[in-house]
Every structure is written in C-alpha cells, then in structure tokens.
Amino acid sequence: MIRSRSGLWALMCTWSLLAACGAGSPEAPSAPSSEGGEISTPAPMDPLPQTPSEQEPNPAPEEAPPPGADPEAQPPPTPPIPAPAFQPAFHQALRWSKSVSSLTTFRMRVPVGKAGERLRVTFSAGDGTLKLQKATVALAGADGALASQPVTLSFNGAPGFTASARQLVTSDPVVFPVGFRAELAISFEVSGALGVSAIDAFPGSFSRSGAYSTRMEALGGSASQKAIGVATVDVEATPGRAFVALGDSITEGYIDTYNDTRNAWPALVEKELGVPVVNAAVSGQGFWGELINLDHEVLAVQGATDCLVLLGTNDLTALSVADLEARMTTLITRLKPFCRVWVSTLLPKERTNYGTYEQVKTDRVAFNAWIRTQTMASVIDLEAVTRSPGSVHLFIDGLDVDGIHPSIQGHQVMAKEVARVLRAQGGL
C-alpha cells in the first residue's frame, strides 16, 4: 500500500514528539519504511550538559613570573661539578741536607690535610745526588709499624730514580684512599743526599740501614724525627681551598728540643677549618732566605690557593724598617700571582740574640704599624692576641717558652685567631 506524502510527514512528526518526551522504550523505534518517498533521518541530539561532578577538571593556572622577570628567560644552568685535582695535603721546605753513604730505609710518619682517593709523593734531593731504589706508602701504625699493606710507588713507570742536587721528583699517582688528617707511613730506600728540615718535629719516624720499605712490622733502627726526603704529598679530590704557611721557627713549630708539627699553629688551623694548611716555614730564616728559595720551596707547590706569611722577626736590627717593608712588598708581589696573600704582625719579642733590644722594640712596633696599614695583602694581627695588656713587647703569661717562641698554648691562641679571621674575611 502506498501512503500519501502528507500522511508520511504526519507519522514522522508523531514519532519525533514521542522520542523527545522519552515515551516508549529506551531504544528509538525504527524509521518507517517507504516504498516511494524519501525519508530523512533525524539529526542526532546534542548531549545533555554534564553536572559539575562530571565535568573535566579545570587545568591549573600557569604560575606567573615574578615582577620584573623576563617570561622568556630560561633558568640558569646548573654549574658543572669541578673535576678532581691534586692539591697539597702535606709539605716541608727541607732547606738543609743530609747524606747517607749506604742504602738506608727511612720511614716518615706524616699527617695529611685532605681526603681523597689518589695521592702522589714528591721527594727532594739534598746538596748532592740522590738515588732512590724503592718507595711505598701505607697507613701508619704504632712505633714505626704499618697499619695497612704498603703500596709501591713508581716514577714514570720505574720503581726508583736518580736525582741531581736539589731536584724534586714526583711519583706517579697511585690509588690510595685517605681521610682528612690520616697518618701515613712513607718508606723509601735511598743513598746519597736528601733534603732535610732543621728541627725535630716528626715523632714516630725512623731510619734503618738496609732495604725495608715493605716491612709491615716496626721498622726498628733509630728514631729520625726531622722531616727528610719527603717534600710534598698531594691528594686528588674535588678542588677547594689549600693554604701554605711561610715563616721561620715560630711557624715551623719550634718549642723545645723535640717538637711535633701537629702542635704548630698551621696544623691547628688545618684541624679547625678542615682544609689543608701545609707548612713551608724554615727555622732561622728571614726575608733573604725566603726570597731566594721561594720558587723551589713554595711556588713549586701545585694547587695552593692562599699563603699565610709570618716573617721578619729574625731581620729586626739587621734590616732597617724601610728595608723590612721593601722586602715584604717584594715577597707579596711575587706571591700574588700564585695565591691570595695574608700577612701577620710580628709576635712580641722579649729579648734578642742580635743587635740592641731597644732597637728591636722600636723597629718591631714600626713594622707592625706598617703591616696593619698596607693594602697589598689581608692582615692577621697575631700580636694583638699574644701581647700582654700591660706591654706591647711582652707575651701574655704562658704563651711563650723563651721570650721569642710561643708555647703550645701560644700556638693554640694563634691558630684560633687565624681561623677566626679566615672565616670572617676569607669565606671559610
């Protein structure tokens, strides 16, 4: 049967009303068939709006840049971690010379002021040829024994070397983890001339005739408390501050016949600040000795960042105040390309072995006044913390041993002041 077009449209309208009102079953009815007319499918209905709980969450608003900031600017890159580098953890100037005619083993006990995974050792010949046959490094035990298995050092791949007078020879780097203030035993078999210090300041060191560098037990032989042969121990780690102390017997640590470098003010500053403060002082020297040996004893040290200078007491009356100022100026000028320079006032001096004491007093006060006002180097005023309140020429009671050299307590007071200044002005 053929329905008319008008009837068909009426039927479709009725079906649309039923769908809109939701009448009938949930499913939409099938469109009626047509045998001759065109039938349009109803357009899909828009979805009902979602309730608030069904809506997509709003994205978080972008954080606004701080006032004045460039919105296009990129965050600064993270600075790279510095590559490990060798820096001094122990040093001695070894100004003097000692010769041994037959093969002798020395076992130096030395503290190191830097932690790291690798180290190298620099040896110093004395005033003649030095032949080193073998050398080892280990942790130091009691009475000259070793606390760890010795590790053999090499020199350009060889087990030893022959050095000319005053030559410095550095070992190849060796893996040997050390902690801050660890005690090393450096054993070396040598004959010939070795650099040596003037004072006994290394208890626990020994020497014995023959070849014993790998001996684990106590070395035996004789006590040998002067620094000898070993000029420098460098430790490889993340670079940081590293200080070198320049001076005379006061800085080297002379207190009595037998001393301990660990009681000298540089070692105490090292312990206090946790950074290496190695000791390049030489007992008995003044500006002349320091200046002519500066390249070999100080500037040869690699990786130092700062220099601490306490020098001039042995030059009082031998040099005029103007000459003292000129030589200190020369020293600072030569050091400045190498390190940041810190200069100390001279300690009180209650007597003198040279010249007249009245002249010593006058010149020392004048030189200290110049040090405080010069602008070439930073100033550490050690006179101010060691002088008697009643007289600028006298020590505070208990801070000296002989009117010239500080006592152990005196070194402690000096170290405390140096550490205070370095923290306040040196960024430590």
- 240-428 under CATH 3.20.20.80, yes or no: no
Work out the average pLDDT over 91-109.
Answer: 98
291 phi and psi angles, rounded to 5 deg:
-70, -40
If pLDDT is split at 50, 70 and 90, which confidence band does 15 have?
A: very low
User: In the predicted model, is pLDDT for residue 226 greater than 60?
Assistant: yes
pLDDT at 273 over 80: yes
Give me the pLDDT at residue 81, please. 84
CATH 3.40.50.1110 positions along the chain are 240-428
3-state secondary structure 238-284: CCCCCEEEEECHHHHCCCCCECCHHHCHHHHHHHHHCCCEEECCCCC
pLDDT of residue 107 exceeding 90, the answer is yes
- Per residue in 340-381, pLDDT (tens digit) is 999 999 999 999 988 999 999 999 999 999 999 999 999 999
Q: State which CATH number among 2.60.120, 1.10.150, 1.10.12, 2.60.40 fits the domain covering 82-237.
A: 2.60.120
Pinpoint the residues of the chain covered by CATH 2.60.120: 82-237
Residue 74's pLDDT is what?
72
Residue 26 binned pLDDT confidence (cut-offs 50, 70, 90): very low
* pTM, full prediction: 0.82
pLDDT at 325 > cutoff 80: yes
pLDDT of residue 75: 72
Residues 6-11: contacts with CB under 8 Å, at least 24 apart: 8/32, 8/34, 8/37, 8/39
| pLDDT (0 to 100) of residue 79 | 78
Q: Is the pLDDT of residue 12 over 50?
A: no
What average pLDDT does the segment 314-331 reach? 98
Averaged pLDDT, 30-43: 39
Model confidence at 39, pLDDT cuts 50, 70, 90, reads very low
* CA–CA distance, 197 with 406 (Å, rounded to integer): 19
pLDDT band at 80 (very low <50, low <70, confident <90, very high): confident
Neighbours of 37 (CB within 10 A): 11
Q: Given pLDDT bands bounded at 50, 70 and 90, which one contains residue 77?
A: confident
